[in-house]
Amino acid sequence: MPRPEGKWITIFYGSGTKAHNSDFNELVGPALIAAMERYYNVRLIIVGHLELRPEFALFSERILRFDFMRDLDQYWSLLASSDINIAVLRRGAMADCKSEIKWLEAAVLQIPSIVSGTANISRVLEDNVNALIVDCVDEWIDALNRLITSVPLRRSIGSAARRKALRDYSLQYTANILVGEFQRSSTKVVNTDDGTSTTKRKIKLLICNVFFAPRVSGALRGSFKIM
């Protein structure tokens, strides 16, 4: 079902860390400033740690700022009220390893995302289908213009993102992946005098589950035996 369109076109940015401040201001900052200069009905919602470059002061009446949130329902409510989600990272070894969680949060709500083209993002998402993938300021400007001016494009990418999220990130789908990995990892080839054979071995699994508020954080260490 298409999301209703309102008076404002709201762009959402959520951050759980101070580490991406320069990425935002140097990569997407100029594109957002250009968009807010050009389109009077564009506003920006920012949740979390972010110090905006001085030029954003010209649009302070169209920028809604929220502190680091611990209320998950409030966070989801703000994201759900938005039209475009952005996730910006400067390419590098660390960023290339980061997940597509910011895309996924918006995707389940059928909100289209513009995302930096890190190695992982380029591997799991499809440009112009379930996201707009960008690498530089000019591409950020172009992507924002396309989504701001085209309701059909926003709906198309948002719908495709939701379909992918429900299909590829469901509990059953990810459980099947884990089962396959456990079974593969638990099989060991052993050389014997009369040939080779396979044996089952107990595997140890380390799960690190680290989220910023409002989601939980923690770590679990355990061992699993594949029967």
**Total tally of structural domains belonging to the chain:** 2
What confidence tens digit (pLDDT) does each residue in 155-178 have? 999 999 999 999 998 888 878 877
By C-alpha distance, which of 79, 80, 82, 114 is closest to 100? Answer: 114
By C-alpha distance, which of 68, 17, 8 is closest to 39? Answer: 8
Angle of helix 137-149 relative to helix 29-38, nearest 10 degrees, comes to 40
CA distance linking residue 14 with residue 110, whole number of Å: 16
Tokens 């989600």, residue located:
85
Asked if residue 85 is part of any domain, the answer here is yes
What backbone torsions phi and psi does residue 23 show, to the nearest 5 degrees? -60, -45
- Look up the CATH number of the domain holding residue 13: 3.40.50.2000
Number of neighbours of residue 2 by Cβ within 10 angstroms: 11
What confidence tens digit (pLDDT) does each residue in 115-142 have? 999 999 999 999 999 999 999 999 999 9
Where residue 39 falls among pLDDT bands split at 50, 70, 90? very high
Asked if residue 56 is part of any domain, the answer here is yes
Give the per-residue pLDDT at 183. Answer: 75
The answer on 118 and 31 residing in a single domain is yes
Give the per-residue pLDDT at 15. Answer: 81
Mean pLDDT of 1-14: 80
Task: Specify the pTM.
Answer: 0.80
The answer on 181 and 87 residing in a single domain is no
Asked if residue 4 is part of any domain, the answer here is no
Beta pairing partners, 13: 46
Structural domain of residue 107, as residue ranges? 9-168
The answer on 62 and 19 residing in a single domain is yes
Give the per-residue pLDDT at 95. Answer: 78
Asked if residue 2 is part of any domain, the answer here is no
The answer on 177 and 152 residing in a single domain is no
The answer on 102 and 153 residing in a single domain is yes
The answer on 124 and 110 residing in a single domain is yes
The answer on 129 and 35 residing in a single domain is yes
Asked if residue 3 is part of any domain, the answer here is no
Give the per-residue pLDDT at 201. Answer: 67
What confidence tens digit (pLDDT) does each residue in 51-96 have? 899 999 999 999 999 987 778 888 899 999 999 999 999 888 887 8
Asked if residue 186 is part of any domain, the answer here is yes
